[in-house]
Amino acid sequence: MDILYYEKCAQFALQRRGMAGSSLEGSGLRVYKRYDFNPQAIYSAVGKGGIVMPIVSGQFFGDTSGEMVYTLIVAVNNASRRIELFNPVTENTQTYALGEFLDRWILDGSDCITAFRVDEKTYQPNPTDLSDIELSDDLKALGELLAANAHNVWALERQSEGWTYGPKRDDNKLQTPDMIPYTELPETEKEYDRKMATSTLKWLIAMGYKVVS
């Protein structure tokens, strides 16, 4: 499967920031590939000046080739529920309904690229490559139990700080919609704990350990 318009989106992002270079890496940016749907993390990345390039169906932007395409998040307005994106087909920015875009992005796999400036003080993690490790069904079930326990540990710690449930995250009121049982969390929120748990199990296997009951 081809993914179109990467260079167009990268060049538009670099030009907006007044950065030289023919690519994100060539401009001194550290580039990451993300494979999970986590809107809050993406909003935070945009707010911190990061470059965020989701991959969605080209049909969303009027491309009729049937291929997936890159786009660039220019701005997100949670209050109005609107998102400004670079349309790689028309090569300009357009505003879309936030929910409509997120639904499309979920349907198309939730993949994206993020990129940030780095300097000599930037920590550059280098985790073990676990891409060739497959978990058995039993270990996947164990990973789900570990994920649920991690959420419980997190919730207990937040409660000790005074956090309670609220329909929207409010740091001033110490409220969060995640103060609910793991089983009631949306899949997008479960995925964070699940990823940490399964990565730990895969690392143990990669290091030669065996997990037995």
Low-confidence residues of the chain, pLDDT below 70? 1-2, 119-120, 122
Distance, in Å, from the CA atom of 182 to the CA atom of 155, rounded to the nearest integer, reads: 10
For the chain, domains (ranges, CATH) are: 3-117 (3.90.70.10), 137-206 (1.10.490.160)
pLDDT of residue 1: 47
pLDDT tens per residue, range 38-84:
788 888 888 888 999 999 999 999 988 889 999 999 999 988 999 99
C-beta separation of 113 from 33 below 8 A: yes
Residue 129 per-residue DSSP state: P
pLDDT of residue 183: 95
Q: What is the largest CA-CA distance in the chain?
A: 57
pLDDT of residue 120: 60
The angle that helices 187-206 and 137-160 make with each other, rounded to 10 degrees, is 120
C-beta separation of 29 from 118 below 8 A: yes
Distance, in Å, from the CA atom of 198 to the CA atom of 193, rounded to the nearest integer, reads: 9
Residue 127 per-residue DSSP state: P
Task: At 19, list the tokens.
Answer: 């950065």
pLDDT of residue 26: 86
Distance, in Å, from the CA atom of 109 to the CA atom of 99, rounded to the nearest integer, reads: 16
pLDDT of residue 199: 93
